[in-house]
Each structure stands twice: as structure tokens, then as C-alpha cells.
Amino acid sequence: MTSSATSLTASPFDVSGRVVAVTGASKGIGWALVQALAAAGATVIGGARDVSGLTLPGATFLPLDVTDETSVGAFAEAAKQAGVDSLVNNAGVGSFLPVQDITPAEYHRVMDTNVLGTLLVTRALIGQFQARHARGHTSSLVNITSDVSGRTFAGGALYTASKYAQRAITQALAHEGHSYGLRVTEIRPGMVDTYFADSQQGEAHKAAWLRPEDVAQATLYALSAPAHARIDEILLHPTVQDVAF
Ligand SMILES: NC(=O)c1ccc[n+]([C@@H]2O[C@H](COP(=O)([O-])OP(=O)(O)OC[C@H]3O[C@@H](n4cnc5c(N)ncnc54)[C@H](OP(=O)(O)O)[C@@H]3O)[C@@H](O)[C@H]2O)c1
């Protein structure tokens, strides 16, 4: 099992009784989020392409490829059966190449995972959120985008294009979801110490970066907002990251 070695402190956020679907649940931010949600009393349906060996009380892990409609359909069906009330679109991949080196294959790897994946999983659960609204309940959706969903840099064309697109989808969905009681939040982390872009968690140069648990707690904050409040956006950075980058 891939997992963070960092232990969790008790969460001040109450998500007991909630049923939360999390994509990209096997490592990094997603795995920290699954642990934090389960520790705070939520039931979690977690998906990733490789979920072998993953076990945690309060969580069910299912194979999920967010780029594949059939896989997404099976995941969404299991989440509906469990009574899902919240979705966290977290699955994502990184790619940092100058424009002249971006191939169509790399374009599809990144855009299909980060953009199409967000659309497919969201779309598969909107009927559930609408049905909950008809019964008088609100639902929640959190998209883990990035601080670069609104700025870019050399070598960032493809990744930031995917994150700008996720931000646009998030904001459009917030407009649409207003009519069916869906509270939509964009969480925009700066540098986080995970397995992102083929790196390893715990590398020395990332010691002062955000921990996946920091992003998990921000997500719990958004999910546990009282019914009369909506957290539209959270932008968080490690202290060492200059605000200009
Ligand atoms: N790390 C950072 O500095 C940082 C900063 C800002 C935003 N983010 C965003 O945070 C999110 C999580 O990234 P992370 O840093 O936690 O990376 P990570 O440690 O590499 O974890 C990525 C997760 O996504 C899953 N995943 C990848 N492709 C998938 C697919 N096609 N279908 C389903 N699951 C898939 C992976 O599992 P499998 O490979 O088994 O599928 C894994 O569970 C991403 O959206 C990323 O863009 C990261």
C-alpha cells in the first residue's frame, strides 16, 4: 500500500454521517483526504487505477480510471448505492514541458485525466445530487485544481491549461448547481509533497512544502460548512512559496 507516513491530528470539522466519493484516492492528497474523512466519521468511496492493498475502516476502494466512461459509471453506481452526498475530484497528473515538446499523446494523457476525468465523474453524479435536492438536501462538490489554475509559467503550458480548464468547469458548475442545491468549491494548493509528476513523497527538497494533510483539512473545512454557507474557493501555499509564484 502506498501511503503517507504522517500521522493525522484530530479534525475540527464534522463530517460524521457524510458519504464522500474521492477520486485519486490511493496516494498523495487523495489518500490523506480518505484518512482524514474516515477519521472524522465520514463513509468514503475511494477510486484510483491501482487500489490493490488499500484498506481503511470506513472506506471502500474501487478501481477507477477517470478517463474511461465504463469505469466511471461503475464507480458512480457504487457511490450512489452508498448514498453519496459529496464528490471530491482529486485525480490528476502533472506534465512540465516546453511547448515544442508537447506531443498529442502527452496532451491526451494530461487533458483526459485532469479535464475529461473531472467532467465524466461529475456528470455521472449530477443525477444523484438532483435527486437529493428533490428530497430537500444539499450536496457538495470539491475540485482540487491548483494555484496555477489562474497563472502560468515556462514549461507549464499543458498542465496549467488543464487546471485553467478545471477552474472554468468548476465555476460553470457552481452556476448550474445552484439550482439543485450543489455547493461547489475549488481548492487551489501550491506545492504539496506527494507523488505528483513521478516524484516521491518525502524528498528532502520538499520538506517545507504543504503536506497532503494540509489540503485534506482544507477540503474537510469546505465539506463541513454549515448548510447556509458555501466556500467558493480556497487558495493555500506553503510559507516558503513566494506569493508571486
Ligand atoms: N502535488 C502538488 O504540488 C499539487 C499542487 C496543486 C495541485 N495538485 C493536484 O492535486 C491532485 C492530486 O495530486 P497529488 O499531488 O496527490 O498526486 P499523486 O500523489 O501523484 O496522486 C495522484 C492520484 O491520482 C490518481 N490518478 C491518476 N490518474 C488517474 C486516473 N486516470 N483515474 C483515476 N485516478 C487517477 C493516482 O492513482 P493511480 O495512479 O493508481 O490511478 C493517485 O491516487 C491533482 O489533481 C494535482 O493536479 C497537486
- Residue 217's pLDDT band, with cuts at 50, 70 and 90, is very high
Q: Average pLDDT, whole number, for the chain?
A: 95
Cell 517545507 locates to 208
Distance 209 CA to ligand 1 centre (A): 16
Q: Is 195 considered catalytic here?
A: no
Is 227 part of a structural domain of the chain?
yes
Residue pLDDT, tens place only, 130-160: 999 999 999 999 999 999 999 999 999 999 9
Is 181 part of a structural domain of the chain?
yes
Integer CA distances (angstroms), 114 to 3, 107, 164, 240, in order: 22, 11, 10, 26
pLDDT of residue 1: 39
Is 221 part of a structural domain of the chain?
yes
Query: Number of structural domains, the chain?
Result: 1
Q: Whose CA is nearest to atom 15 of ligand 1?
A: 196
- Residue 222's pLDDT band, with cuts at 50, 70 and 90, is very high
The whole-number average pLDDT for the span 212-231 is 96
Comparing 3-17, 92-106, 197-211, the range with the smallest average pLDDT is: 3-17
Distance 176 CA to ligand 1 centre (A): 26
Say what percent of the chain tops pLDDT 70: 95
Is 5 part of a structural domain of the chain?
no
Q: Which domain holds residue 88?
A: 19-236
The CATH number covering residue 132 comes to 3.40.50.720
Distance CA 170, CA 184 (A): 7
Is 176 part of a structural domain of the chain?
yes
Is 217 part of a structural domain of the chain?
yes
pLDDT of residue 12: 83
Is 11 part of a structural domain of the chain?
no
The whole-number average pLDDT for the span 74-84 is 98
Is 138 part of a structural domain of the chain?
yes
